[in-house]
Structure 1
Amino acid sequence: MNEQQAIKRAEEIIHQAVDGMSPKPKLERIGPTPVGACIARDDGGPDDRLQVSLAYKLTGVPGSKAKSLVRQARDAWLKLGYKFQSSDADWSKPFPHVNMRTEPDDFWMDAITGVVNRATGEGLASVGVTSPCFPRSASDQSAADSTAFHRTQVDERAEQIALDHSSRIYDALHVQRAPVQGGDGISVYRDSEGAFVHHAWSTQPLTEEEAIQAMARVQTYFERAGWTVGHVPAGTGVTALIARKVEDESMAQIAPSATGAVRVAVTTPVAPGRSANI
């Protein structure tokens, strides 16, 4: 599989969930470019592989339909023979989420809801797909170099939001940070969708039990703070988290690695609000 094939397949899986929905939503992309480095490598060595992650808000329908859209996504995927990661969503909750995977190509996807208006109980639905890791080709490397994270002057508000989210995630994990390493710190990603502030850092190495407990604490924080949470494969025995904050369109990725460290990355758009009226 290469980048183009991974993107095409991810888009196909999303449309399999969305195209038969009623009422029919529009797709609005969430977050930065869909192609990035793999979140973890089994052997702990340098990772030059890539991974596609696509996520879309389902817009243009009443927020009260969010749960119905998630259920319809689940039903469409089940009809195609796709499997639950663990079990079906808890439909008694106001904002359930579904985590599934395709067979045999092992793309992971979720359909989730987030809070739009706590007073009325309205939600916002989204669907996301993450591909397996695939080798980086020469053309992929050239594209990555042209759209890599660069340190530049950034919007101070977006930077502060990203740093604030990182700080709260650190508090929730409740483990020591590792010394700064390559790729850590604040940077800016620019692509055709706009500019995004990115903050990355790692914890010190943890035992598997410590990592499981830390991930449980940060998931609890996300859910209480109104983030929508999805799960993606990390290749370490501990599932990674991808969370989205509807209010400021931030995305957070919390990924245990084979070295025992938990890798944290927060991405915030410099100019959010393209969907502020949803």
Structure 2
Amino acid sequence: MDEQQAMKRAEQIIRQAVDGMSPKPTLKRVGPVPVGACLADDHSSGGRQQVSLTYQLTGVPGTQAKNLVRQARDAWVKKGYKFQSSDADWSDPFPTVSMRTDRDDFWMDAITGVVDKEKGEGLASIGVTSPCFTPSAASSADPASFQRVPLPADEQAERRALGHSSRIYDVLRLQHAPAREGEGLATYQEGGDTYAHHAWSTQPAGSDKTVQALERAQAYFESAGWAVRHVPTATGAPALLARNAADGTVSQLAPSVDGTLRVGVTTPVVGPGVTTA
């Protein structure tokens, strides 16, 4: 996939949700240029990119926000797309739908924001995020002219860690902060085992946003088959510890006293003479 293909697919997913809506909303793009660096490569030399598109659904009464979100959900379900965890809580005046495409792993959500809580009026928006991709002029070349070369075991582990890290970022929906000392991608040894580790932090967020982000992360982990538990912290809010039984990856999401959320993803390197813990 290249940038043009990712943009085209993201726009297609948006149109699939919007084209059949009634009343018909007007799309208003939120934010700057939709192509940016892949978060998982932010502190490394990966150079991959992601497409992220967000549109507000304007030009309709605020009382229709919930209805528009439901219609987006219905349109995506008809296409065979999957829920990230479960369907929205439709008893909530302002529900949120989080889904993904099964074939190519684009993630999308339909969200209602509160405009007037007493009147039950909101503002609906739709967002789509692509998986990370490597821009390449050769992407349109004949695939038969390329051979897949196996990556070294440590590089495979690094890519797994970065991939998990990117998905966690998608789920949290919090902006990442500039790299601190000790953050980034690294490989280390502990006893006879070798691990790839990716660490990063979010920007400071209020306690409510942090709690909501952790709830989304837990729902994602559980839906993806991770084992999840809570660990007490000095902040009073428990950290989230999750383990992926399929590849042995451990992820820790820990609230900090400065209001940031610190994320660490550790993946065992599996190769000749290397064992997992």
Question: TM-score band (shorter)?
Answer: 0.5 to 0.7
Which residue of structure 2 aligns with residue 29 of structure 1?
A: 29
Shift of the 109–239 alpha-carbon distance from structure 1 to 2, 3 Å rule, reads farther
1:134-145 alignment runs, 5 A limit: 134-137=133-136
Which residue of structure 2 aligns with residue 57 of structure 1?
A: 56
Which residue of structure 2 aligns with residue 201 of structure 1?
A: 178
Which residue of structure 2 aligns with residue 39 of structure 1?
A: 39
Query: 1:222 deviation in Å?
Result: 2.5
Kindly indicate whether residue 123 of structure 2 is the aligned counterpart of residue 97 of structure 1: no
Which residue of structure 1 aligns with residue 85 of structure 2?
A: 86
Query: 1:230 deviation in Å?
Result: 8.2
Shift of the 69–224 alpha-carbon distance from structure 1 to 2, 3 Å rule, reads farther
Higher relative contact order (CA 8 A, sep 6+): 1
Query: 1:87 deviation in Å?
Result: 0.6
Which residue of structure 1 aligns with residue 275 of structure 2?
A: none
Query: 1:105 deviation in Å?
Result: 0.4
Query: 1:107 deviation in Å?
Result: 0.3
Query: 1:219 deviation in Å?
Result: 8.0
Q: 1:112·1:230 contact (CA, 8 Å) conserved in 2?
A: no
Shift of the 59–101 alpha-carbon distance from structure 1 to 2, 3 Å rule, reads same
Shift of the 126–21 alpha-carbon distance from structure 1 to 2, 3 Å rule, reads same
Unaligned stretches of 5+ residues in structure 2:
139-174, 185-200, 222-243, 254-259, 268-277
Secondary structure, aligned partner of 2:123 = strand
Query: 1:205 deviation in Å?
Result: 5.5
CA deviations on 1:215-245 (whole Å, 9 max, x unpaired) are 8x958523899x9x988x99987699xxxxx
CA deviations on 1:128-182 (whole Å, 9 max, x unpaired) are 000011102369xxxxxxxxxxxxxxxxxxxxxxxxxxxxxxxxxxxxxxxxxxx
1:87-166 alignment runs, 5 A limit: 87-137=86-136
Rounded Cα–Cα distance in structure 1 between residues aligned with 2:58 and 2:252: 29
Shift of the 20–69 alpha-carbon distance from structure 1 to 2, 3 Å rule, reads same
Q: 1:40·1:255 contact (CA, 8 Å) conserved in 2?
A: no
Q: 1:37·1:47 contact (CA, 8 Å) conserved in 2?
A: no
Shift of the 119–239 alpha-carbon distance from structure 1 to 2, 3 Å rule, reads farther
Shift of the 3–57 alpha-carbon distance from structure 1 to 2, 3 Å rule, reads same
How high is the TM-score relative to the length of structure 2? 0.54
How high is the TM-score relative to the length of structure 1? 0.54
Secondary structure, aligned partner of 2:56 = strand
Which residue of structure 2 aligns with residue 222 of structure 1?
A: 209
Q: 1:110·1:230 contact (CA, 8 Å) conserved in 2?
A: no
Q: 2:252·2:265 contact (CA, 8 Å) conserved in 1?
A: no
* Number of matched pairs: 180
Shift of the 259–219 alpha-carbon distance from structure 1 to 2, 3 Å rule, reads farther
Query: 1:106 deviation in Å?
Result: 0.5
1:234-249 alignment runs, 5 A limit: none
Rounded Cα–Cα distance in structure 2 between residues aligned with 1:239 and 1:90: 27
Secondary structure, aligned partner of 2:50 = strand
Q: 2:29·2:55 contact (CA, 8 Å) conserved in 1?
A: yes
Secondary structure, aligned partner of 1:126 = strand
Shift of the 25–104 alpha-carbon distance from structure 1 to 2, 3 Å rule, reads same
Rounded Cα–Cα distance in structure 2 between residues aligned with 1:122 and 1:75: 21
Aligned residue identity for 2:40: A
Identity of aligned residues (%): 60
Q: 1:23·1:61 contact (CA, 8 Å) conserved in 2?
A: yes
Secondary structure, aligned partner of 2:22 = coil
Which residue of structure 2 aligns with residue 170 of structure 1?
A: none
Q: Considering only CA atoms, is the larger Rg found in Structure 1 or Structure 2?
A: 2
Shift of the 102–40 alpha-carbon distance from structure 1 to 2, 3 Å rule, reads same
Structure 1 outlier segments of 4+, above 6 Å: 233-237
Q: 1:41·1:257 contact (CA, 8 Å) conserved in 2?
A: no
Secondary structure, aligned partner of 1:33 = coil
Secondary structure, aligned partner of 1:48 = coil
Which residue of structure 1 aligns with residue 76 of structure 2?
A: 77
Rounded Cα–Cα distance in structure 2 between residues aligned with 1:56 and 1:106: 20
Rounded Cα–Cα distance in structure 1 between residues aligned with 2:58 and 2:216: 19
